[in-house]
Amino acid sequence: MGKLPLGLLQQFVLVARLGNLSRAATQANLTVSALSHQMRQLEERLERRLLERGPRGVKLTVDGCALLEAVGEHFDGIEHALSHYQKRRNDTLTLSASTGIMSGWLVPRLPRLVAVHPELELNLQSGSTLVNFEREPVDAALRYGRGVWAGLHSERLFGEWIAPIAAPVLVARMADADPNDLSQWPLLGDPNPSNRWKDWFEKVGGTVPRRYVAHFDSFEAQRHAALEGLGVAMGRMVMSKSLIDAGRLTVLGNRYLPVDDAYWLVYPERSKEHPGLQVFREWLLAEADDYCSHLPVPGTGNTAAGD
């Protein structure tokens, strides 16, 4: 077999820990095709299947787990040793966020940041998995949850509300249906394990349907189905506001239900004094305050369920 190129093992460790070829390729400055080819080359050299490839990422086989355990810590030691020789750029910030908050809220506002801070260089990473600050060179993240992540600083940006949303084409088709009586409407199953429809009917009133038009394993797929007029989705207002403002979705009725989760700026202790993060944080908190003052939710004339 001969000696294995260390580069192949290094890329394997990156893929194994991220569980996603696209994110790993971005960090390695490779195309997904090139990185996938390297992983197959490594498997052929070792004559072992290391990765199981699927539509939602990659998973380690038993042999893959064994290899990661054997070599992973050694690469960690090398990276730790080299980190002392790497100069940190104060004008560069690497930020991680889910695809929804990144494209639906942050990116449309970034031109204002660039206008006042043209010296700041942003590296944006989007994905559905939470970044591991101990293993990945990321300075901060935008996260959705309760605000408690062990060993990390978290600052609340704004809360979230949910409401039934539908495409205008469906609203037109259901012109005779009462928008406040959802029993008359086709509903789309909620990807959230806790089922936000159940929370909605318990607090607003009504009966959970015995069946939904369709079920989805992601919010993006559910939102796309709603945009196509397939049915009514239980939408998060922060994620849906741009589509509502553009007239592509509309809220049924006039009730909004606040949820316990919120959006947070999260960062590790090592990023606390990073000048780039300080600039971004100040701008981000101001944008969040401005956004909250314009939300079409309780306090602006609409009715909030439970108020």
Q: Are 171 and 274 within one domain?
A: yes
Residuewise pLDDT in 10s, the chain (307 residues) = 567 778 888 888 898 888 888 888 888 888 888 999 999 999 998 988 999 988 778 889 999 899 888 888 877 777 666 554 444 567 889 999 987 788 888 998 999 999 999 989 999 988 767 888 887 889 999 999 899 999 999 999 999 889 999 999 999 999 999 998 898 899 999 887 778 898 899 888 888 888 899 998 888 889 899 999 999 999 988 888 888 989 999 999 888 888 888 999 999 999 998 999 999 999 999 999 998 887 654 433 344 443 3
Question: Do 34 and 177 reside in the same domain of the chain?
Answer: no
CATH of residue 243's domain is: 3.40.190.290
| Strands (DSSP E) found in the chain | 51-54, 57-60, 92-97, 121-126, 140-145, 152-166, 233-236, 250-251, 255-268, 303-304
* Same-domain pairing of 100 and 78: no
Query: Does the residue 243 lie in any domain?
Result: yes
In a shared domain, residues 170 and 246: yes
Residue 1 lies in a domain: no
* Residue 154: other Cβ atoms inside 10 A: 17
Residues 37 and 106 in one domain: no
> Which amino acid is it at 180?
N
Task: List the end-to-end C-alpha distance of the chain, in Å, as a whole number.
Answer: 69
| Domain encompassing residue 147 | 89-307
Residues 6+ away with beta carbon under 8 Å from 156:
147, 262, 263, 264
pLDDT, residue 89, reads 61
Asked if residue 133 and residue 45 are part of one domain, the reply reads: no
- Write down the pLDDT at residue 300: 33
Q: For residue 300, is it within any domain?
A: yes
pLDDT score recorded for residue 83: 55
**Identity of the amino acid at 129:** T
My answer on whether 153 and 302 are in the same domain is yes
